[in-house]
Chains A and B, each alone.
Chain A
């Protein structure tokens, strides 16, 4: 049984593919993160991430299928589920080994699995685009934090960058403890050790908020409450579209 481990980065996964072709040894099991040695499996093939090797695999995927497919693979990787790396390696092998482009062969289980997961990641990113709630700080910048199911922030940033070009903002992933900061010029990745955020609702400490912030949260909540048509109340559909896990971060659903 071939066991591989990698550093849980996308480049790492592509390097793993490169190495398995070179060694003609393909993984039956993939362990994520450094030091994730599992004695049960005995020897583990530990992959050292190499950007150049990763690049070659990326290009290989594009030439055997399409650029969109390479991006699809990246987005599926962001799902971060324990089985994802192995699924992806199998999918990439299918793409590279087939003489034809198999990305649309929906009769194959692995293709269907990849597309299902891709759909899930994209819909989470789409939800985040909608459910992010900025709080205005006393300095006039805007802050949002929450805990997405998958690591989708990188997919959301271009949208926020385009939409909020004239306000400085931070969007922070509380679950993965990192975020992105836009300073009116560039977007950069940030990590805070002493974030003054209530992890129960993603709200910044009141002392950091702009004076009228609570007022607008109240206005929004008021708006939200009075547009519901009681005659048409439908809790099932409501929860289906607005899953409970988001509620605590939304001023309209919470206590202000």
Chain B
């Protein structure tokens, strides 16, 4: 039974976990077995939205906010004088069940400060997941944070019970990481990541041979990078992200605009507001990497190490590569259609299907959700040609696109795209 004092604990430990950005649970299909409780649906469900507009899908909470480490960017660092408390494994398990039964949540996302040492902490986290799966016969979603430096055995145990594991890199270069988090290095982060990806691959392989072989972190793994706490460029960040997607097979990389929680620490920049626009552009670029077939060096490179904050990275790409446009809507390869600003992953299949029935013109495109005010400069279709990027110069198109966009609207549309439509996975 959960007591009144748990209300206070909840306040502290949920508050402590909130800076871990985003979001939902999805990508797992865990069927409800033995008439137990719960399933994990392939598409995550948002159960609520916070006033900052984020999807609430999981009970995102810390087992404890005690920590022996002193990371400069973290509210829970040991040198901060803040109220500290811990839940027991059973308390977290039953709170999860009570919330889940009321349809408040899709599952649990558990992290923790480092108590005593990484293994001691990891053991307690694994115990929560095990209790839920075995004693409560819970089949809902579980995401566990792997503690940097935890042993291979414990990471492997965690993957048996969890749907997803994550190790947060937080700082994209090792020098900066060591500067801000003296107790961590790249090895302590990338080791567990490697163990997880090896285990995932092995389990997939085994399940190909035996259908009932145990699952291992079936929704894969993810990580998070803090944006704007260091001077690392978008090129560094996206290169790292793209390597993680291809070599470690990560499901998601999350970007979290740095929020100055420890204003007194002068190793960190003074920011009045978190760099939300930059974070947003990084998510757009990440989207291009994962769903649009872009390589990271097509988006940012030595000449352009940082994303253009004024325009979406796909527009920037098109303006830098005018020789590839205009694209003929009625004949172009779907991959090329995807590269046209204003045409998205939703409209490409519609265009490809519809152009089998008849030749398409701009009013058709509009109906299919193509944003013509952007696309018009980069396409030709079945009508008198209008001025495109070849007639105008890229600089002029750039100006036209900037002027066309009332401040804020574009962001609202995109945010809608990123958050609820495709719930981000953690």
Contacts and interface: CB of A to CB of B under 8 A. Distances in A.
Interface of A: 100, 102, 104-107, 109, 112, 126, 129-136, 142, 144, 159, 162-167, 212, 215-216, 218-220, 222-224, 226-238, 240-242, 250, 252
A238 B53 contact: yes
Contact of A219 (B6, B46, B137, B354): B6
B274 A231 contact: yes
Contacts of A237: 49, 52-53, 412, 415-416, 419
B71 interface: no
Contacts of A106: 350, 353-354, 364, 367-368
B407 to A, nearest CB: 13
Nearest to A227: B18
Nearest to A232: B52
B102 A216 contact: yes
Contacts of A233: 51-52
B354 A229 contact: no
Given A212-B1, A227-B17, 19 more contacts: A106-B350, A106-B364, A106-B367, A107-B354, A112-B367, A131-B47, A212-B2, A216-B98, A216-B102, A219-B2, A222-B11, A223-B61, A226-B18, A229-B50, A232-B259, A237-B52, A240-B412, A240-B416, A241-B46
A212 B10 CA distance: 16
Interface in B360-411: 360, 364, 367-368
28 contacts: A102-B357, A104-B353, A104-B354, A105-B354, A105-B358, A106-B350, A107-B354, A130-B46, A131-B47, A133-B102, A133-B103, A162-B31, A163-B38, A212-B1, A224-B50, A226-B11, A226-B18, A227-B60, A228-B51, A229-B18, A229-B50, A232-B259, A232-B276, A237-B415, A238-B49, A241-B46, A241-B55, A242-B48
Interface string B5-21: 01100110011011100
B104 interface: yes
A219 to B, nearest CB: 6
A220 B32 contact: no
Contacts of A226: 10-11, 14-15, 18
Contact of A165 (B11, B35, B45, B103): B35
A134 B10 contact: no
A38 to B, nearest CB: 33
B101 interface: yes
Contacts of A234: 51-53
Interface of B: 1-2, 6-7, 10-11, 14-15, 17-19, 31-32, 35-39, 41, 45-56, 59-61, 95, 98-99, 101-104, 137, 259, 273-274, 276, 350, 353-354, 357-358, 360, 364, 367-368, 412, 415-416, 419-420
A223 B354 contact: no
B101 A231 contact: no
B6 A223 contact: no
A166 B2 CA distance: 22
Contacts of B53: 232, 234, 236-238, 240-241
Contacts of B137: 166
A230 B35 CA distance: 41
B103 A144 contact: yes
Nearest to A241: B49
Nearest to A223: B14
B103 A134 contact: yes
4 closest A-B pairs by CB: A237-B53, A232-B52, A104-B353, A242-B49
A163 to B, nearest CB: 5
Contact of B48 (A142, A159, A219, A224): A224
Contacts of A129: 45
Contacts of A107: 354, 357-358, 360, 364, 367
Contact of A134 (B51, B102, B274): B102
Contacts of B364: 106-107
A89 to B, nearest CB: 21
B421 to A, nearest CB: 9
Nearest to A230: B52
